[in-house]
Amino acid sequence: MFKRKISFSLALLLPILGLWAYQMTVLRSNDFERYEKMIENREIASSNSYSPTNQERKQVRKDIWFSQDDCARLHYQIASESSLLTLTPVKNKFEVVETLDKIKCWMQDKLIKDGMDETLTQQARLIEAESGVYHHTSQEFIANDVTLSLFRLPGHQLPKDPINQDEAILRGIAHDISFYFSGKTPQFQARQFEATMVKE
């Protein structure tokens, strides 16, 4: 009786073992495809030697808005005649850097509303440089040999047309400037700034 149970169990178990062994040892075409895909993905993930990818662009403009505590929104605008966008693989991520040429950057410092007649004005800076770099990942902008002008302008919208530089209340030259966007207050820094003209 006991031997019969063992024989019956073996008779059931052997086909199952045979089928399992067949599944484990026989390679099908989709197994090869899956293996090659896995190796390819592993190589992509572990590789740090891929060449950067570049893209040339014309008439570039970036508009960045910042909400303030009083519900106002400050507007920064970076415009350039041309740029070179570079994507570089770094540890399974992409570092995105854009080199800009012939730059004009408007930065609203504050929006003003006169309580008496509700006249809207703004204080804004205009930055001009031959070239600069914008780091998309860290949202940081850097430029060298910069002309910086400070204006008091009507309205709360940045000007769309060229502005008379003689209307500036302050002008100067900076060795370099940088700003990055963090929270509600962009962090701005100008090194070796020398004022060259002040409007009374």
Q: What is the pLDDT of residues 120-175, one digit of tens each?
A: 999 999 999 999 999 988 889 999 999 999 999 999 999 988 888 888 888 999 99
Most confident of 70-74, 98-102, 186-190, 196-200: 98-102
Residue 14: is its pLDDT beyond 70?
A: no
Q: What is the pLDDT of residues 110-125, one digit of tens each?
A: 888 877 767 899 999 9
pTM exceeds cut of 0.85: no
Provide the phi-psi class of 145: left if phi over 0, else alpha when psi is between -120 and 50, else beta: left
Q: Where are the domains of the chain?
A: 2-46, 53-198
Alpha carbon distances (Å) from 93 to 27, 45, 147, 172? 35, 9, 35, 39
* CATH number 2.60.120 is the correct assignment for the domain at 53-198: no
